[in-house]
Amino acid sequence: MLKKGDKKLINAWAFYDWANSVYSLVIGTAVFPLYYSNITEGATVSFLGTDWEHPDTLYSYALSFSFLVVAFMSPILSAIADYTGNKKRFLQIFCWIGSLSVMSLYFFDGIDTVWIGIVFTVLASIGFWSSIVFYNAYLPEVAFPEDQDRVSAKGFILGYLGSVILLVINLGMILKPELLGITSGAASQISFVMVGLWWLGFAQITFRRLPNNIFDKKPEKDYIWKGFKELKIVGNEIKNYPTLKRFLYAFFSLSVGVQTIILLATIFGSTELGLGTVNLIITVLLIQIVAIFGAWFFSNISERYGNFKALKVTVLIWVLVCLAAFNLHKELPNVDVLFYGLGGILGLVLGAIQSLTRSTYSKLLPETEDHATYFSFYDVTEKIAIVLGTFVYGLLYALTDSMQWSVLCLAVFFIISFILLNTLKQTKFVK
């Protein structure tokens, strides 16, 4: 078994980002949301006996529901995983659920099959985000605290690189479907299958080298109830660590904005600004490419000035992004160029804030064997934030018929996060 800090172990762990990030980019951000919007544009969609005049609101609510399920499940599963020492098995199970659900989106090909798109969007989201709980929980087991900023950033950088490669391939298929003898819609459907195969295939590299049950735990027959007990113990422990607790509050506030923007940015560009598919996918590619540099740049900033100072800078930039997006509208000249510029700024802080929040939380953890349970609180915090963010976004859009007010509301959450981060003075673990 590879030891903690071993380069091969770190590379194997980070490579899961390469495997799974194609989901968050192609399915969560770029191709699928645009495919969904194109199919449902101008239509009233029926789902579970309810007619939806704004199908984008249905999509937003479906995402909210999926994150609510993950937020409910992950504390229970991760507590059991910690008690049984079985993080790797849970990581594999949810990887399979997510990747197979993504491939099933192939069968969503029109208004009559919107239910397929919604159901498998929910299942894919549950699979992806649940697997991330256990993936993140490995960070303190594969890298020492002084290396965790760099290792966390390495994972995100690999993820951005891998997802950009597949998105470029998918974009070529969508723009030139005649070269394959298919339609643009069919090219999008095939891209969903490619994402699932990429995710599942490359994940095997990670699964081969990640250790399992490194603390040699031997569960008793009532380990499920022991898992609930373990969860309660860790929950009570977090209350005793003010820095860790306040960081989770700040993380909650910034996650409302970050994750909602990631999930709904292309729908904003399509519906609110009237931008075409090519413009939007170019923007997404720009975001991903700049995010590679951003993750590296801010990991260096954090090493020099501290995690909290680096995070505060990124949060302020997110506030500016929200204010700029609020002032964009389709009548503006060169609105596509302005959207590209906004995407570039967003990319600079996207990789940075995701990488830094993960490594900062890892550094703040006490000495423990219950990493999955502790990271479940991190994950639940993020998921409940996404539930709130996507719900508020969809609700404000339904009430005002404009996504600009939804974006402006997200700026408030970033400001709250900045205020909370100002109360934190050091990154090292403090009781």
Assess contact for 324 and 113: CB atoms under 8 A: no
Q: Which of 246, 341, 233, 229 is nearest to 287 (CA)?
A: 341
Cα–Cα separations (whole angstroms), residue 23 to 121, 132, 266, 277, 350:
11, 12, 15, 18, 16
Residue for token digits 């099933």? Answer: 104
Mean per-residue pLDDT pooled into runs of 10, the chain (431 residues): 80 92 86 85 81 81 86 75 76 95 93 91 92 83 79 84 90 88 90 96 92 60 62 78 88 87 75 77 81 82 85 91 84 83 85 83 77 73 83 81 82 93 66 38
Tell me which DSSP letter residue 213 carries.
-
Dihedral sign computed on CA atoms, order 257, 258, 263, 265:
positive
Residue 51: what pLDDT? 82
Residue 343: what pLDDT? 84
pLDDT tens digits, one per residue of 297-319: 888 888 888 888 889 999 999 89
φ, ψ (nearest 5 deg) of residue 144: -75, 155
Assess contact for 360 and 427: CB atoms under 8 A: yes
Say which CATH architecture domain 7-421 belongs to.
Up-down Bundle (1.20)
Residue 250: what pLDDT? 92
Residue 197: what pLDDT? 97
pLDDT tens digits, one per residue of 102-156: 999 999 988 888 899 999 999 999 999 889 888 887 887 888 877 777 888 788 7
Residue 102: what pLDDT? 96
Question: Could you tell me the residue ranges of all domains in the chain?
Answer: 7-421
Residue 116: what pLDDT? 92
